[in-house]
């Protein structure tokens, strides 16, 4: 089983949007997928409950299950016997749950969504420190990548490029993804209908399928990371 952790120390960065889209897209491609909701807000849980196509499995982890490393690992060990992929949606704060998840050797990839704004970008060094500490506990480096989200669609906006430069200069435990997601109505409409943005833009016959393009780019990039890790 390949495990994708979607995490950040900050709320409102599109973690649940990213997690629900990835889970839905993996499931519609025939992969047995588990979506783990470890966020007290329960966005992924609500998405799953409202989704007509029950094509992935949801598991909600309570504080006790998330705050004990052995219990967290046991959950993933058990899931690995049934699922191809596991996507974990964590809450946006620094706490035991985040630190335990990052330190687990059963987590293959960590995706850190970060809004393309300077106040959000400046929080990344703390996330970098958390991952550096987790790497010492793991005994190996986790594949940790920053995904810039809610980027402006204005052609002249280059904030995400500045963010990538910041990561490259100040965050040695993090890498930049080539993919990014922008502030689009299609994401909000899709999650409201418990669909992936790909499903929403297809069903609505949208001419502008840029949300689908962004998420397909992200999924493809994550698959390439898995391939690189396996080699």
| Residue-level pLDDT, tens digit, the chain, 231 residues | 999 999 999 989 999 999 999 999 999 999 999 999 988 888 999 999 898 877 888 887 766 666 677 888 998 999 999 999 999 999 888 988 899 999 999 999 999 999 999 999 999 999 999 999 999 999 999 999 999 999 998 877 888 899 999 999 999 999 999 999 999 999 999 999 999 999 999 999 888 899 999 999 999 999 999 999 887
| Domain that residue 170 falls in | 2-230
**Based on the structure, what is the number of domains in the chain?**
1
Q: Where residue 33 sits, what CATH number does that domain have?
A: 3.40.50.300
> 86 near 76, Cβ under 8 Å?
yes
């Amino acid at each position: 089983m390949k495990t994708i952790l979607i995490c950040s120390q900050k709320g409102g960065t599109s973690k649940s949007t990213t997690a629900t889209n990835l889970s839905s897209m993996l499931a519609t491609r025939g992969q047995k997928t588990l979506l783990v909701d470890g966020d007290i807000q329960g966005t992924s849980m609500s998405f799953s409950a409202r989704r007509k196509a029950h094509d992935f499995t949801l598991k909600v982890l309570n504080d006790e299950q998330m705050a004990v490393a052995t219990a967290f690992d046991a959950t993933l060990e058990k899931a690995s016997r049934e699922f191809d992929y596991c996507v974990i949606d964590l809450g946006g704060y620094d706490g035991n749950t985040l630190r335990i998840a990052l330190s687990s050797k059963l987590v293959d990839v960590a995706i850190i969504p970060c809004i393309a704004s300077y106040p959000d970008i400046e929080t990344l060094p703390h996330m970098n420190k958390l991952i550096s500490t987790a790497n010492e506990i793991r005994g190996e480096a986790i594949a940790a990548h920053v995904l810039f989200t809610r980027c402006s669609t204005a052609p002249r906006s280059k904030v995400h490029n500045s963010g990538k430069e910041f990561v490259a200069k100040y965050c040695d435990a993090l890498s930049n993804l080539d993919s990014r997601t922008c502030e689009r109505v299609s994401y909000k409409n899709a999650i409201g209908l418990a669909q992936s943005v790909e499903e929403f833009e297809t069903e609505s016959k949208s001419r502008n399928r840029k949300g689908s393009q962004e998420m397909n780019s992200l999924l493809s990039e994550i698959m390439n990371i898995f391939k690189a890790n396996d080699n």
